[in-house]
Structure 1
């Protein structure tokens, strides 16, 4: 069994909020789920046992404790195939209790955004995700620097305010 990641440990101990900002148009393009989707596989939302995962269970347990989990995605338009895939499987995130919104990148020109995707846990601790140019995970960086936390929180809330709830977001 794989060891818990620092993010999983942080979500287990989170008490009120977990905010996730995603800003890439593609991640881990060798992900078996993405490759199956490219081959035409589509999940049946009614068959939860076929797509439920330990990650979704963790998010479900986190939200069931009253923790607000919000994910905002900044995407280029027209969207990449990877974003089409993410959009289609986002019903999983919703089923786990996450709130998800989408914002076209061209609507972010006047926003100060950090250079990396992140999770902000309880408004105090940041987990920045570093990816290669191809979208492969490289490593995480943890920060509690007050200025960086403030910038990241402000950036997330600015994106969230403009973003469209998942159920209303149309792909272009």
Structure 2
């Protein structure tokens, strides 16, 4: 991104009230932690230094400032191996202070949803994520169009209302 475009870190650090994130893909790019899990490696949740990342600290700092951070995931069932792993590592997100919910895709059929994953910060800006078909991140786009922000924020709220809290969602 050009230097005058805020980063995710900047946007989250500037949030005063809320940051909401919608994820709708069943597979994202592969990464070493996912590959390690696929080979049987389990996270030692008692060894926080081994799994706590700068992202988790940024979330924890935002929550400590009074920002409500929520993440909703729309998933196909039975879930993909990648979503099974995401469910497992969501423990870190929850520990950082995120509220996370899961919505089986079959329960979203009557919802009009935005076409991409996104973050909305304080209902003033939206970071849209663009991915390739195989889940590689192509680019992120920061926009401040009020109509787009309203579309994304209201879509998120409709999903959030019927989604299942992380601690109650069972992988199928």
Q: TM-score range by the shorter chain?
A: over 0.9
Structure 1-normalised TM-score? 0.95
Aligned partner of 1:53 in structure 2 is 53
* Residue aligning to 1:32: 32
| Structure 2: stretches of 5+ with no match in the other structure | none
TM-score (structure 2 length as normaliser): 0.95
Cα deviations by residue, 1:115-143 (Å, 9 ceiling, x for unpaired): 00000000110000001100011101111
- Paired position in structure 2 for 1:18: 19
Partner residue in 2 for 1:64: 64
For this pair of structures, how many residues does the alignment match? 169
Segments of 4+ in structure 1 off by > 3 A? none
| Residue in 1 that maps onto 2:117 | 117
C-alpha spacing 1:160/1:123, structure 2 compared with 1 (3 Å): same
Over the aligned positions, Cα root-mean-square deviation in angstroms equals: 1.3
The 1:87/1:13 distance shift into structure 2, 3 A limit, reads: same
SS at match of 1:40: coil
Alignment partner, residue 86 of structure 2: 86
Deviations 1:55-92 (A, max 9, x none): 10111111110100000000000000000000000000
Structure 1 residue 5 displacement after superposition = 6.6
Unaligned 5+ residue runs, structure 1?
Answer: none
Q: Distance in 2 between matches of 1:49 and 1:6?
A: 25
Q: Distance in 1 between matches of 2:13 and 2:56?
A: 13
